[in-house]
Amino acid sequence: MTFGAKGWGCDGRTSGEIIERYLEAGGNFIDTADIYSGSASEEIIGEALKSKKRDDLVLATKCFFRTGPSPNDKGLSRKHILSACEASLRRLRTDYIDLYTLHGADPFTSVEETMRALNDLVRQGKVRYLGCSNLFAWQILKANGISALLNLEKLVCGQYLYNLINREAEREILPACVDQGMGFTAWSPLGGGLLAGKYERREKPPEGTRISYRAEIDGPRFWHERGFEIARKVGEFSKKFGISPVKLALSWPLRDKRVTSIISGAKSREQLEGNLSVGDWDLPEDIWREVTRETAQDLGHLSQFAAHAYKSVFGEEEN
């Protein structure tokens, strides 16, 4: 998402260097979207990967958000999905997309139409697997239920906001993905930089920072009392356990067996090097359990009831 983003991201040259170093380190999964940096992200990635062995890579992109002025340049209709996929293929300079993700839910298009269009892309060889992002759990189950009924390709991966600040996915999204046999990728594991210790508690983000550029989007996600409090706790854990805040925040979701991978952006090679440190390292279970317990989020009555009922009936808490 940082690739080509003016102001808070990085230019094409730096993006190419980041991708090159990532591949050298053994990375193979690259995630983007047709709206990132006005589609520049896909173009930059396509340029960087043009000489690479395509089958060694897992390339993911998304569709849903508006990409042009036409009434058809948005949503999950057959018309938009097919045209958006073709445009992404051209920008990425590839014959196929490994993981094609619905970037949101379209209340004006039937789920059957959406899943049939996606199924056609798989049958045509333009897409290998289907995923979703920002759908409610019931929408995931509905989409996969319709696909099962009609013998269509199912959603196999969910991509969701998940970090020590934002743990709502534990309520229903993670259980839904487990139920459906789906993978789960966590985006923004550093909470927009708060968990890295980049920001101090204040009324507004400092001018020129990523959150200041994206205040309407990232502000409600991270810039609030819980965000500051969890960032403070992460700082304390970092000192207590001798683990950097970045390493602690990135490794925490990876310790959960339900999480397939994290999606971590970088705007410099130096940032990438810090992020790569968790690739060959596991957060000790005792530390993970303490951090998990001390940063718990109130997920409401149903979650409380389920935990109590499980312990009451089966004798232990569900993991």
**Tokens at 43, concatenated:** 């173009």
Task: For residue 184, give the nearest of 197, 194, 193, 175 by alpha carbon.
Answer: 175
Paired with 135 in beta bridges are none
With pLDDT > 90 as the criterion, what percentage of the chain qualifies?
Answer: 86
Cα separation of 208 and 168, whole Å? 29
pLDDT for 269 beyond 90: yes
- Tokens representing 164? 């020590």
Average pLDDT over residues 107-111: 98
Q: Which CATH superfamily is domain 1-161 in?
A: NADP-dependent oxidoreductase domain (3.20.20.100)
Could you tell me which residues are beta bridge partners of residue 132?
A: 102, 158
Q: How do strand 155-161 and strand 29-31 relate by DSSP bridges?
A: unpaired
- In this prediction, residue 318 has a pLDDT band, given cuts at 50, 70 and 90, of low
Task: State yes or no: pLDDT of 207 exceeds 90.
Answer: no
Q: What are the Cα distances from residue 127, in Å, to 40, 45, 117, 131? A: 21, 17, 11, 11
> What average pLDDT does the segment 301-305 reach?
93
Q: What is the pLDDT of residue 217?
A: 77
Mean pLDDT of 44-48: 98
| Residue 36 among the catalytic residues | yes
User: What is the token pair recorded at 190?
Assistant: 């550093």
213-218 average pLDDT score: 77
Residue of 36, 100, 160, 162 with catalytic role? 36
What single DSSP character describes residue 77? -
pLDDT the model gives residue 279? 87
> Nearest Cα to 34, choosing from 70, 79, 77, 75?
75
Which has the closest alpha carbon to 217: 20, 29, 65, 95?
A: 65
pLDDT for 82: 98
200: pLDDT strictly greater than 90: no
User: Is it the case that residue 232 has pLDDT exceeding 70?
Assistant: yes
Give, as one character, the DSSP assignment of residue 54.
Answer: G
Q: Tell me the whole-structure pTM to 2 decimals.
A: 0.93
Instruction: Compute the distance between CA of residue 263 and CA of residue 160 in angstroms, rounded to an integer.
Output: 10
* pLDDT of res. 220: 83
pLDDT of residue 211: 77
Average pLDDT, the chain: 94
Please, which pLDDT band fits residue 205 given cuts at 50, 70 and 90?
A: confident
- Alpha carbons within 13 A on the beta-carbon side of 59: 27
Q: What is the pLDDT of residues 274-295, one digit of tens each?
A: 899 898 899 999 999 999 999 9
Whole-angstrom distance, CA of residue 17 vs CA of residue 40: 16
Q: What count of other Cβ atoms lies within 10 Å of the Cβ of residue 215?
A: 14
Per the structure block, which two tokens stand in for 316?
A: 């232990």
Is the confidence at residue 227, as pLDDT, over 60?
yes
Phi, psi (degrees; rounded to nearest 5) at 247: -65, -40
- SS3 label, residue 1: coil
Per-domain residue ranges of the chain: 1-161, 191-254+268-307
- At 317, the pLDDT band (50, 70, 90 cuts) reads low
Query: Which is higher by pLDDT, 26 or 213?
Result: 26
Percent of the chain with pLDDT over 70: 99
Most confidently predicted of 4-13, 152-161, 216-225: 152-161
